[in-house]
Amino acid sequence: MRTLYAKNNYIGKSLTALSTPEGQALIQKHGILSSPGILINDEFFAMDGATEKQLREKFEILKQK
């Protein structure tokens, strides 16, 4: 599972194995049914991947907050 963090024009990422307790907790919390599930700032963003355009649009929205 991919988790992206966007704050102050910085984008970090972490990968969590679905077989770990943390991965299982994220699956249950966000109702993720397939991989990759993408979370941005601990909010569900996409399942089965996202396009570069979709990610850029989301990060642009986050920069405005």
Please check whether residue 47 is in contact with residue 33, taking contact to mean a CB–CB distance below 8 angstroms. yes
pLDDT one-digit tens code per residue, 6-28:
566 667 777 788 788 988 898 88
Band of the pLDDT at 3, cuts 50, 70, 90?
A: low
Angle at Cα 34 formed by Cα 6 and Cα 46, nearest 5°?
A: 30
- In this structure, which long-range contacts are made by residues 8-15, counting pairs with CB atoms below 8 Å and at least 24 apart in sequence? 9/63, 11/59
Whole-number pLDDT of residue 57: 92
Please check whether residue 5 is in contact with residue 11, taking contact to mean a CB–CB distance below 8 angstroms. yes
Instruction: Give the H or E element holding residue 8.
Output: none
Considering the entire predicted model, what is its pTM? 0.67
Q: For the chain, which residues make up each domain, given as ranges?
A: 2-64
Q: What average pLDDT does range 31-55 have in this prediction?
A: 84
Please check whether residue 37 is in contact with residue 2, taking contact to mean a CB–CB distance below 8 angstroms. yes
